[in-house]
Chain A
Amino acid sequence: MSTHVPETETETDTEAETEVEHSEPLAPAQEERMRKKAEARADREERARQEAAERATGDDDTVHLKVFRFDPEVEGKQEPRFDDFHVPYEKGMTVLDALIYARDTFDSSLTFRHSCRQAICGSDALFINGRQRLGCKTQLSDLDQPVRVEPLPHAEVEKDLVVDMDHFYDQMEAVEPYFDADELPDGELDEQRQTRENREKVKMSTRCIWCGACMSSCNIAAGNNEYLGPAAINKAYRFAMDEREGTERKQHRLNILEQENGVWRCQTQFSCTEVCPKDIPLTEHIQELKREAVKSNLKFW
């Protein structure tokens, strides 16, 4: 997971600000002290610059990132390009850590989403060295350099590494991703218990963090915007397979899934299963729903 990268900024700025404020003529001794301080400050700044430069050029402990840049709102940045960042490597550093360092140190306009830094919020799915991965779950030590970081394929790029997720969320909503049982228990406070076996069955499918990596990797979803996509189908699986919901509700869910752009679009390319950061067996779930759909239509089964 993500490790905290210590801040390495020097304190020079704040000192400089407080001292320039003196406007009345200064005593010679004071003037001398100011001069010395200024010299020392320049010295420190120079050293810091040198250190930064050394870090940037030394090849054994810096990481070379090539980051996709694009900003439709700035004249000179409308043509997409790759920016190089040389980030000092710390043990355990993730791609997200490196991006944060690059943004905080080199270019504050570098834009990307992140929040939890522990693979649970699903906001930093990126296309890293040709594969959909979570920035915060990807160790730099596992990657070949230069590390190429791009926004998720098959989604509109808003700016730099940020893509439009609306379509993905729409597909997720389309499968009615909430528990909705046919019958509620009598008592208001009664629990709706699930058997251990049933919980085990849906366990993996509950792990989705809505990162969109699977959708981005899917060749079919890329060519067909109507296709529900692996994440939404997996979400539907989570509820369709939940025995507490009841047969009527399950039938309703299967009706959604067996439509033209539901489960039958899947061509078992396994790309989604390959990239899912939560190791959800997506293809397996889609295939199982295909069989469920067939069974519910062939009544003599």
Chain B
Amino acid sequence: MSQSYDRGLVEDFGRWREFSAGMWAWVFHKFTGWVLVGYLFTHIAVLSTAISAAGQTQAIAAENDVYTTVITALESLLVVRILEVGLLAVAVFHILNGCRLLLVDLGIGLDSQDKSFYASLVLTGAIVVASVPTFLAGVFG
């Protein structure tokens, strides 16, 4: 028997230029899903500073308890504000495309699955742009 030649990775994500809408939707959905999981951990870490802050009534009133200091320190950083915009983008896309996948699972509108993917992208873009003033408010002040 002849040996055969395995073309390896070239055939997989090396071909990303040739992906069609449904494939991109899948890649983005996996990516955003795992980013959200990652965020969940940092989210819990930051919020748990409230545990040690709990009960320090005086510190809370003076706004220098652990939780408030951590949150205000983070929110004063430009990177954090930009990351928040990114988080919103990721979450919005995941939710919109999640709804698209729900429709796909129910067998509704499978012929326009590419259009609903583009719609998710456009809507995500619009919502993210609209959110920028809110997220960046005061950070440059």
Known: A268-B22, A270-B22. A72 touches B110 (CB 8 A): no
The answer to whether B20 and A271 touch across the interface, beta carbons within 8 angstroms, is yes
Contact digits for B99-133, partner A, Cβ 8 Å, 1 yes 0 no: 00100111100110110000000000000000000
Q: Which of B4, B15, B101 has the most CB of A within 10 A?
A: B4
Residues 1 to 50 of chain B near chain A (Cβ within 8 Å): 2-7, 11-12, 15, 17-18, 20-23, 25-26
Known: A158-B2, A159-B2, A222-B11. A287 touches B110 (CB 8 A): yes
The docked-state distance in angstroms from the alpha carbon of A73 to that of B3 is: 8
The docked-state distance in angstroms from the alpha carbon of A80 to that of B10 is: 13
Query: Contacts of A130 on B, CB cut-off 8 Å?
Result: 15, 17-18
Q: Which of A78, A131, A267, A291 contacts B107 (CB 8 A)?
A: A291
- Say if the beta carbon of A54 comes within 8 Å of chain B: no
Residues 200 to 236 of chain A near chain B (Cβ within 8 Å): 219, 222
- Expressed in whole angstroms, the minimum distance between the Cβ of B131 and any Cβ of chain A is 29
The docked-state distance in angstroms from the alpha carbon of A219 to that of B6 is: 16
The answer to whether B7 and A153 touch across the interface, beta carbons within 8 angstroms, is yes
Contact digits for A251-281, partner B, Cβ 8 Å, 1 yes 0 no: 0000000000000000111110110000001
The answer to whether A157 and B22 touch across the interface, beta carbons within 8 angstroms, is no
Query: Contacts of A222 on B, CB cut-off 8 Å?
Result: 11-12
Query: Contacts of B2 on A, CB cut-off 8 Å?
Result: 72-73, 158-159
The answer to whether B101 and A154 touch across the interface, beta carbons within 8 angstroms, is no
- Say if the beta carbon of A55 comes within 8 Å of chain B: no
- Expressed in whole angstroms, the minimum distance between the Cβ of B88 and any Cβ of chain A is 25
What is the chain B residue whose CB lies nearest that of A222?
A: B12
Known: A130-B18, A270-B23. A281 touches B110 (CB 8 A): yes
Query: A-side interface residues toward B, CB under 8 Å?
Result: 70, 72-73, 78, 80, 130-131, 153-154, 156-159, 164, 219, 222, 267-271, 273-274, 281, 283-284, 287-288, 290-291
Query: B-side interface residues toward A, CB under 8 Å?
Result: 2-7, 11-12, 15, 17-18, 20-23, 25-26, 101, 104-107, 110-111, 113-114
- Contacts A72-B3, A78-B5, A80-B5 aside, 10 further interface pairs with beta carbons under 8 A come to A80-B7, A130-B18, A157-B6, A158-B2, A159-B2, A164-B4, A274-B20, A291-B105, A291-B106, A291-B107
